[in-house]
Each structure stands twice: as structure tokens, then as C-alpha cells.
């Protein structure tokens, strides 16, 4: 992989990179398409990164569908698939970690201790191996994308971070490898996350700017779904990830909830342009 990376640089090519944990769906493939439209060659990785799973999380049972993933990436026109072993990425004696202070402790970081340390460390390692000009991430994991952007800036990485839209099912549920865990009933209930965000979108269109009223309305929608157990429901500044009391600049409505043992996240992007608010689900 390093040889391919060095050769692409030497040839003046713009290498595009799509890191994944496999169990691929249309969300991943949308990142591949974005990379293909902008870069050559395109590299995808599949690595279920053990260090980003907190103790007791689903590392062992995380869906692993390597052969069909490989085929889908090939059909999508990916030039190289990088699928290292955990022992290669974390050899014995490994002891260097990346943390982005502050931003890592909130939201997902609070519920999943050590999660972002694992994510940032593996992304930096993958970048060091793949040396992408551009790397493509989904806004589905908005906090992750924000943290990776911060790391790239803080560490002067030579890779541009591109954040792509959320791909959803027809009923609005954001695609996720973890949707596979849901029972039929939980799958029906899970759309409540989208409904809560969509209600916020509609309220903003009607002129609502008060973050406390918006979050209260989202909590109420989720509370009415008996199968959903919320972890957090917040309206935060997109830069600092701190809660806001009133919409201003770029904000995110962020949600996390459990359906049975499956934990799902989703978000709505809210951007102010010349006094108007644009929302992107």
C-alpha cells in the first residue's frame, strides 16, 4: 500500500481515500462515488478497528462481510482495497495515541470512553500508509468528521478532509452497518430519529430559533416511541460541539438512542446564510 501511495505521489496523481469498517452499504458507496469523481486512484480500506470499541461494545459481533464488500468495491470502480490485519496495525509494544482535547469528551465521546482516541489513531495510521490527497467521510458521523478535520489541521496533515451527505433509507433512517442488528419492530421504531430531526427542520423553516424549545420537541417525539432509549438529544455549535441556546452560524442537531441493544446516531446540519437558516438532513 505504501508503494502504491509513493508511486501515485511521484506520478502527480491525486489519490482519494475512503476508510471503512466494512459491512458496506450505499452510504459507503456514495463516498466511493465522491472519491471517483474527484480523484485517481481511489483506495478504500476495510478495517474493523479494535481500539475504537469500548469494553462491552460490539467489536466481536460487528458484521464482517469481506467477500461481498470486496465485490461491491470492485464493481464501484475502487482501484485498491487495503484490508490490513489488526496485528499489522497494532504490533506488540504499540504505545502512541492521538487525542483531540475537549471535542472528544462530549456526545459520543462521553457515552463511548476512548472511542475517538481509537478512531483518530487509526485514521492517522491509515493516512500515514495511504497518504491520500483527499479523504472522504460521511456527515452521518458528524462529531467524528469534525474531530478528524481538527486533527488534520492541528497536525499539518497533507490530506484534505471531505465530508459527504448522509444517505438514508426511503423512510428516512440513516444507513448504518448496525441497522442489521435491528429486529423488524426495532427497525420500524428507529425511524423516530429521522422524525425528530425532520420536526426540527420544519420548526426552523417556520421561524423557530430557540434551541431549548427545539430540543424539547425532539425529546418529546423520541419519548413517545417506547422502543427508543435516548442517550443524548442536543443542539450544538458545529465548530465547538457545545450546546447553544439560540441558533447562530453553523449548528448540528445531534441524537443518539438505543433500540434494544443497538445504538444508532443521526444529525441535522443547520447553516446560517445571510440571516436565513438552511437545513440538511
* Chain residues that interact with ligand AMP, rule: CB under 6 A: 20-21, 27-28, 30-31, 137-138, 140-141, 164, 166-167, 174-177
Is residue 78 within 8 A of residue 52, CB to CB? The reply is no
Q: Which is nearer to ligand AMP, 21 or 76 (CB)?
A: 21
- Respond yes or no: is residue 28 known to be catalytic: yes
CA distance linking residue 191 with residue 180, whole number of Å: 14
Q: Which is nearer to ligand AMP, 167 or 236 (CB)?
A: 167
CA distance linking residue 85 with residue 66, whole number of Å: 13
Q: Is 6 left (phi over 0), alpha (psi -120 to 50) or beta?
A: alpha
We find the least distance from the C-beta atom of residue 209 to ligand AMP, in angstroms, to be 28
Q: Which residue is nearest to ligand AMP (CB)?
A: 138
CA distance linking residue 231 with residue 265, whole number of Å: 9
- Phi, psi at 276, each rounded to 5°: -100, 150
We find the least distance from the C-beta atom of residue 175 to ligand AMP, in angstroms, to be 4
We find the least distance from the C-beta atom of residue 20 to ligand AMP, in angstroms, to be 4
Q: Which is nearer to ligand AMP, 169 or 271 (CB)?
A: 169
Q: Is 143 left (phi over 0), alpha (psi -120 to 50) or beta?
A: alpha
CA distance linking residue 178 with residue 51, whole number of Å: 18
Angle between helices 211-223 and 192-205 (to 10 degrees): 150
Q: Which is nearer to ligand AMP, 151 or 211 (CB)?
A: 151
We find the least distance from the C-beta atom of residue 31 to ligand AMP, in angstroms, to be 6
CA distance linking residue 9 with residue 193, whole number of Å: 42
We find the least distance from the C-beta atom of residue 167 to ligand AMP, in angstroms, to be 4
Of the listed 28, 115, 156, 273, which one is catalytic?
A: 28
CA distance linking residue 187 with residue 249, whole number of Å: 34
Of 169, 228, 164, the residue nearest 34 (C-alpha):
164
Q: Which is nearer to ligand AMP, 178 or 209 (CB)?
A: 178
| CA 36 vs CA 19, 121, 274: distances in Å | 14, 26, 33
We find the least distance from the C-beta atom of residue 93 to ligand AMP, in angstroms, to be 26
Q: Which is nearer to ligand AMP, 175 or 252 (CB)?
A: 175
Residues annotated as catalytic are 28
Amino acid at each position: 500500500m505504501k508503494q502504491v501511495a509513493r508511486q501515485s505521489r511521484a506520478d502527480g496523481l491525486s489519490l482519494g481515500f475512503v476508510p471503512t469498517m466494512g459491512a458496506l452499504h450505499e452510504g459507503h458507496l456514495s463516498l466511493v462515488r465522491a472519491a471517483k469523481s474527484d480523484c485517481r486512484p481511489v483506495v478504500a480500506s476495510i478495517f474493523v478497528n479494535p481500539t475504537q470499541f469500548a469494553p462491552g461494545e460490539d467489536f466481536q459481533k460487528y458484521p464482517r462481510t469481506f467477500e461481498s464488500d470486496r465485490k461491491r468495491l470492485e464493481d464501484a470502480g475502487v482501484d485498491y482495497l487495503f484490508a490490513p490485519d489488526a496485528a499489522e496495525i497494532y504490533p506488540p509494544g504499540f504505545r502512541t495515541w492521538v487525542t483531540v482535547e475537549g471535542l472528544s469528551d462530549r456526545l459520543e465521546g462521553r457515552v463511548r470512553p476512548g472511542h475517538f482516541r481509537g478512531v483518530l489513531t487509526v485514521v492517522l495510521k491509515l493516512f500515514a500508509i495511504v497518504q491520500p490527497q483527499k479523504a472522504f467521510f460521511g456527515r452521518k458521523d458528524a462529531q467524528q468528521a469534525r474531530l478528524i478535520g481538527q486533527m488534520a489541521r492541528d497536525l499539518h496533515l497533507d490530506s484534505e478532509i471531505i465530508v459527504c451527505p448522509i444517505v438514508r433509507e426511503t423512510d428516512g433512517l440513516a444507513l448504518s452497518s448496525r441497522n442489521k442488528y435491528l429486529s423488524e419492530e426495532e427497525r420500524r421504531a428507529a425511524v423516530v430519529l429521522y422524525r425528530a430531526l425532520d420536526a426540527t427542520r420544519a420548526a426552523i423553516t417556520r421561524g423557530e430559533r430557540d434551541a431549548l424549545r427545539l430540543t424539547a420537541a425532539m425529546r418529546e417525539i423520541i419519548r413517545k416511541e417506547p422502543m427508543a432509549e435516548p442517550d443524548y438529544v442536543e443542539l450544538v455549535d458545529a465548530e465547538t460541539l457545545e450546546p447553544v441556546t439560540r441558533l447562530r452560524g453553523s449548528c448540528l442537531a445531534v441524537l443518539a438512542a438505543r433500540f434494544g441493544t443497538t445504538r444508532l446516531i443521526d444529525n441535522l446540519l443547520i447553516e446560517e446564510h445571510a440571516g436565513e437558516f438552511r437545513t440538511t438532513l
